[in-house]
Chain A
Amino acid sequence: MELLMAIVIGILFTCAVYLMLSKSLLRIIIGTAVLSHGAHLLILTVSSLKKGAPPLLGQHAESYVDPLPQALILTAIVISFGVTAFFLVLAYRAYQELGTDNMDQLRGNEGND
């Protein structure tokens, strides 16, 4: 199962990087979102996907799945959401002010440095 997940994560990363290398600002943000999905699944995968009960004590099971990576991912999801939201509004403002979403046109002028 972990092997399959590793391959899936690899495909997610490939798509994310390819999107981030494109010119459109929106696609870059989509790329970062895909990248964070990949990262979250990666955390879950490397901490082993053993079968067990959900981490709720009321289940009275023999074994539970590891609760720690789940807590870490929950934190990561919220933070990446915060960053993505900020990034999106930034992009929205950039459209409003500059009138383009092409990264090549957002390069700034020579001599501005």
Chain B
Amino acid sequence: MTLLHWAILSPFLFAILIPFLYKAFRKIHTGWFVLILPVVLFVYFFRFISLTKNGDTVTETVNWMPSFGIQFTAYVDGLGLLFAMLITGIGALVVLYSIYYLDKAKEQLHNFYVYLLMFMGAMLGVVLSDNLITLYMFWEFTSISSFLLIGYWYQKERSRYGALKSMLITVFGGLSMLGGIILLYLMGGTFSIRELVGMSDQLVTDPLFMGALILILLGAFTKSAQFPFHIWLPDAMEAPTPVSAYLHSATMVKAGIYLVARMSPIFATSGVWIWLVGGIGLFTVFWGSFNAVRQKDLKGILAFSTISQLGMIMSLLGIGGAALHYNQLDENIYMAATLAAVFHLINHATFKGSLFMVAGIVDHETGTRDIRKLGGLMSFMPITFTIAIIGAFSMAGLPPFNGFLSKEMFFTGMINVLSLDIFNFETFGALFPVLAWVGSIFTFVYSMILVFKTFTGKYQPEKLEKKPHEAPIGMLISPIILASLVVIFGFFPNILSDRILAPAVEAIVPSLIADGQTVKTEISFWHGFSPELFMTIGVIAFGVILYLTLSKWEKIYRVLPQRLSLNSLYDGGLRGSERGAYSFMNGHMTGFIRTYLVYIFTFFVGISLFSLWYNDAFSLEMDKMAPIGIYEVAVALLLVVSTVMILFAKSRLTSIILLGATGYTVSLFFVVFRAPDLALTQLVIETVSVALFLLCFYHLPKLSRHEERMRFKLGNALIALGVGVTVTLFAISAYSTKLFDSISEYYIKNVYEEAAGKNMVNVILVDFRGFDTLFEICVLAIASLGIFAMIKLRLTRRDEG
């Protein structure tokens, strides 16, 4: 265990202390203690920048389950470090914000911070693990802690619904990912990501490759809320706002992005990967932004906007994968897409975090998040308004904020698709820039709605629960820091490029980086009158027109009925499978013993006859058989007649006597077949059994004592006949295909010399195979004790009558 391992595990360890701190220091808000940890971790990870800047990486391994090839390998490179700094940095800001957001008297803070720290540790584990199984373990930890955080106000029905939904969808994806990981292990023989990257050339030709690709992508898409798995994210907005800001905008939803970026060197050599990641990402851009416009809840808008922006990063990573098909690093225009993805990743975390915090402040200070009730808050909350405007303009892609830069780079990446000449991109590739552009227009529209419907327009005090006023300064610190970062990265993007962006890009496309070479990551504000600039101008122009005419075209959202939405598909699917399972169970578990016996016998007949036929096992050999004597035929006839008569007996008494006759005939058979001990035992036992039967018969209840013949039932008869025929066939076939001689020669030879007895059956029972007899005695003892207990033990006596 090195310091790095302790750093990853420290949130888990610290989480153990939280309840004690909460109990011991009731006066102090627990969040203050928690705040220390992410700050320390952020400083710790900050120091790695100087290492990764030069292309160095850090690998530390601790054995966990070495015999399975599962190690806890911590691996820090540019990509992992970028995520680790996002997690700890935004984590610190969110904890600070939550100190003012959550009331220390009303809320169960110990739960909140335990879950939050668990999440932080899990997320650090995901981004810093090299071993896929360890990564998967931390991955599921994020799902669980997210579930707990969404359901934090568990008294609310919507919280529980949202938590369950996110759990089902992300765990579905997580399990798919586990399948993909196992396939990768089968192909490559290792769980280490870096070793798998090293053998990507041979993996791509493996027949399991495509399965692994799809399964891993399922994991990434469900976690990162890509279409059609985005539906859990809007419902996760029932979580407290700090949680939404942290998990559902800045970190957890980017775990899928991280996975795609991390796996790119392995999978991006395949055209399917580029099409799926790029295509689904881009459709998510459009779908998320289109649906964000119709939302009436501030956090609803932000949720769909997160979906859309994540789609944007995803599509850029997909297109960035195309770079692997062009060898030269210089003039490799597809690298720009990867760079844009990493840059937007940071930008999105900054502006989306601040916007969520703004939404939280508005909610906290007015009591509602409904934009129809809000309006004219500008004069009451000037600082919040400023932060909101910076965040929203950056989200819309307006200069001079960082969103502008990444949006320009996004357009560049999408225009570059037009020059792709592989994997049929010549034909449908033209859709990429068009969808991207339309998506950006809607992004502009909802960003404007977010700011202007909330802060300008008519002030409606009668609809608000509280009198609005500016938030306390503590609540404003975090969004102010994030908003300043938005501006700083907007004006000076190059402070990031060499230190953070370049190492991250190098980690995503390692095979293209020769020794000593670095990626060119200069981000320039002004790059001439390029098509991107005209696209941005078009976005602004159309966006303004659409925003101003919003009330006229809003009707198109009613064209698609609610019933056809993906949410009702999910709800219906869940209800349907519950009902299906219930009716399936009700359908075949009837509670009648007859039904179950029918299943058992039918299965027995079916599987036996099938295997007899399939293995061609039936054979009939006449010459080994013993001759038939007249006496045997007579006894056989007697046995058959007495047995069949049981079926036709009207009274129970008759059937019991017939059963007795059957038993005695069987003992006659034993006499015929030279088995004196059997005959003796059979006679005695048959007598006792018949006596017992008569006892039962005597105690039949009076009510149902009217006696009737068994009614003929064709179904029962067919099943019974099937069983009989099967057993007959088996008996003949087993007799005709004897593979070995009996071992009884030994018993016959040694019964006197070794065991000093002349009755072979008895010597076998008590000497050669005495253990059978011992436990048979046990069976009798248990049966008699059981009978005794049943008769004597009357714990509940029913009322008679």
User: Is B460 at the interface (CB under 8 A from chain A)?
Assistant: no
Q: Do A89 and B734 touch across chains, with their CB atoms under 8 A apart?
A: no
Interface string of A1-21 (1 = CB under 8 A from B): 111111111111111111111
Shortest Cβ distance from residue A84 to the other chain B in the assembled complex, whole angstroms:
6
Q: Do B704 and A75 touch across chains, with their CB atoms under 8 A apart?
A: no
User: Is B199 at the interface (CB under 8 A from chain A)?
Assistant: no
Residues of A within 8 A of B798 (CB): 97
Residues of A within 8 A of B776 (CB): 75, 78-79
Q: Which residue of chain A is the closest to B624 with respect to CB atoms?
A: A48
Evaluate whether A74 and B681 lie within 8 angstroms (CB atoms) in the complex, with A1-B632, A17-B601, A51-B626 already known: yes
Evaluate whether A67 and B685 lie within 8 angstroms (CB atoms) in the complex, with A44-B673, A88-B695, A101-B700 already known: no
Q: Which residue of chain A is the closest to B635 with respect to CB atoms?
A: A8
Residues of A within 8 A of B713 (CB): 21
Stretch at the interface among B238-246, B283-291, B395-403, B755-763: B755-763
Q: Do A93 and B791 touch across chains, with their CB atoms under 8 A apart?
A: yes
B residues 687-708 near A (Cβ < 8 Å) are 688-689, 692-693, 695-697, 699-701, 703-704
C-alpha spacing A91/B676, complex, angstroms:
33
Evaluate whether A46 and B727 lie within 8 angstroms (CB atoms) in the complex, with A34-B643, A53-B674 already known: no
Q: Do A46 and B731 touch across chains, with their CB atoms under 8 A apart?
A: yes
Q: Do B731 and A95 touch across chains, with their CB atoms under 8 A apart?
A: no
C-alpha spacing A14/B620, complex, angstroms:
21
Residues of A within 8 A of B592 (CB): 103-104, 107
Evaluate whether A21 and B716 lie within 8 angstroms (CB atoms) in the complex, with A30-B655, A86-B786 already known: yes
C-alpha spacing A5/B734, complex, angstroms:
13
Residues of B within 8 A of A79 (CB): 776, 779
User: Is B764 at the interface (CB under 8 A from chain A)?
Assistant: yes
Shortest Cβ distance from residue B788 to the other chain A in the assembled complex, whole angstroms:
9
User: Is B16 at the interface (CB under 8 A from chain A)?
Assistant: no
Residues of A within 8 A of B692 (CB): 84-85, 88-89
Residues of A within 8 A of B39 (CB): none
C-alpha spacing A77/B685, complex, angstroms:
8
Shortest Cβ distance from residue B618 to the other chain A in the assembled complex, whole angstroms:
12
Q: Do A70 and B675 touch across chains, with their CB atoms under 8 A apart?
A: yes
Residues of A within 8 A of B601 (CB): 17
Q: Which residue of chain A is the closest to B751 with respect to CB atoms?
A: A57
Residues of B within 8 A of A1 (CB): 625-629, 632
Q: Do B673 and A95 touch across chains, with their CB atoms under 8 A apart?
A: no
Q: Do A70 and B624 touch across chains, with their CB atoms under 8 A apart?
A: no
Residues of B within 8 A of A13 (CB): 720, 723-724, 727-728
Q: Which residue of chain B is the closest to A57 with respect to CB atoms?
A: B758
Residues of A within 8 A of B786 (CB): 86
Q: Looking at chain A's contact residues, is the secondary structure mostly helix, strand, loop, or mixed?
A: helix
C-alpha spacing A22/B111, complex, angstroms:
59
B residues 488-531 near A (Cβ < 8 Å) are none
Q: Which of B681, B710, B731, B790 contacts A27 (CB 8 A)?
A: B710
C-alpha spacing A21/B791, complex, angstroms:
27
Q: Which residue of chain B is the closest to A37 with respect to CB atoms?
A: B666
Residues of B within 8 A of A4 (CB): 628, 632-633, 636
Q: Do A74 and B677 touch across chains, with their CB atoms under 8 A apart?
A: yes
Q: Do B689 and A84 touch across chains, with their CB atoms under 8 A apart?
A: yes
Evaluate whether A55 and B666 lie within 8 angstroms (CB atoms) in the complex, with A14-B720, A23-B594 already known: no
C-alpha spacing A4/B622, complex, angstroms:
12
Shortest Cβ distance from residue B778 to the other chain A in the assembled complex, whole angstroms:
10
Q: Which residue of chain A is the closest to B707 with respect to CB atoms?
A: A24
Residues of A within 8 A of B727 (CB): 9-10, 13, 38, 42
Q: Do B752 and A96 touch across chains, with their CB atoms under 8 A apart?
A: no
Q: Do A58 and B735 touch across chains, with their CB atoms under 8 A apart?
A: no
Q: Do A95 and B700 touch across chains, with their CB atoms under 8 A apart?
A: yes
Residues of B within 8 A of A99 (CB): 701, 703-704
Interface string of B666-690 (1 = CB under 8 A from A): 1001100111111001100100110
Q: Which of A54, A107, A108 contacts B675 (CB 8 A)?
A: A54
Interface string of B747-772 (1 = CB under 8 A from A): 11001100001111100110001001
Residues of A within 8 A of B418 (CB): none
Of B710, B731, B758, B798, which is in contact with the most chain A CB atoms at under 10 Å from its CB?
Answer: B731
Shortest Cβ distance from residue A108 to the other chain B in the assembled complex, whole angstroms:
6
Residues of B within 8 A of A55 (CB): 674-675, 748, 759-761
User: Is B565 at the interface (CB under 8 A from chain A)?
Assistant: no
Residues of B within 8 A of A14 (CB): 720-721, 723-725
Q: Do B675 and A44 touch across chains, with their CB atoms under 8 A apart?
A: yes
Q: Which residue of chain B is the closest to A76 with respect to CB atoms?
A: B776
C-alpha spacing A78/B777, complex, angstroms:
9
Evaluate whether A64 and B699 lie within 8 angstroms (CB atoms) in the complex, with A33-B689, A40-B666, A41-B666 already known: no
Selected A-B contacts with CB under 8 Å, 25 pairs: A2-B731, A2-B735, A7-B728, A8-B640, A10-B724, A13-B728, A14-B721, A14-B723, A22-B710, A23-B594, A24-B652, A34-B662, A40-B666, A46-B734, A48-B626, A48-B738, A49-B626, A56-B676, A64-B760, A67-B761, A71-B772, A73-B678, A74-B678, A77-B682, A92-B696
A15-B647, A82-B779 given; name 7 further pairs at CB < 8 Å: A18-B716, A19-B646, A41-B669, A81-B685, A81-B689, A82-B783, A101-B701
Which residues of A approach B to under 8 Å, CB–CB? 1-24, 26-30, 33-34, 37-38, 40-42, 44-58, 64-68, 70-71, 73-75, 77-79, 81-86, 88-93, 95-97, 99-104, 107-108
Q: Which 5 interchain pairs have the tightest Cβ spacing?
A: A14-B724, A10-B728, A67-B760, A82-B783, A57-B758
